[in-house]
Amino acid sequence: EVQLVESGGGLVQPGRSLRLSCAASGFSFRDYAMHWVRQAPGKGLEWVSGIGWNSDSIGYADSVKGRFTISRDNAKNSLYLQMNSLRVEDTALYYCAKDSPFGSGSYPDYFGYWGQGTLVTVSS
């Protein structure tokens, strides 16, 4: 059974940093691109960032480019999102999502599996 478990969310002041983690199990993590998708409270879904299976392909939404950095550790079956210079508008539930067999970090396909999310609140 595919499982994705996010952690690392919390309350942080604007301008500060936070690092999210996603622990994956139940599938061959090293074979798939992985992504972060967020959902602001009461709002829709927004793709944030993605990384290819061997970290060769990396993509970011314009809204986070230059502030967020995605990475992965295939030996630990883990995905990360380093979020710097956080803004109030980054407040959201951040989901870790597994790509289809054909997607890449920069060009995701559909998201076959999702974690339960970790909440990031940016507020003074």
- Residue ranges binding other proteins (CB under 8 A): 44-47, 59, 61-62, 95, 100, 103, 106-117
- Residue 106 tokens read as 């920069």
* Smallest separation, CB 43 to other proteins (Å): 8
Number of residues in the chain = 124
Nearer to other proteins, 89 or 109 (CB): 109
* Smallest separation, CB 47 to other proteins (Å): 5
Nearer to other proteins, 45 or 58 (CB): 45
- β pairing state of 45-51 and 78-83: unpaired
Nearer to other proteins, 18 or 50 (CB): 50
- Residue 26 tokens read as 């139940």
Which phi and psi (to 5°) does residue 68 adopt?
A: -105, 150
* Smallest separation, CB 105 to other proteins (Å): 12
Residues 12, 22: Cα–Cα separation, whole Å: 19
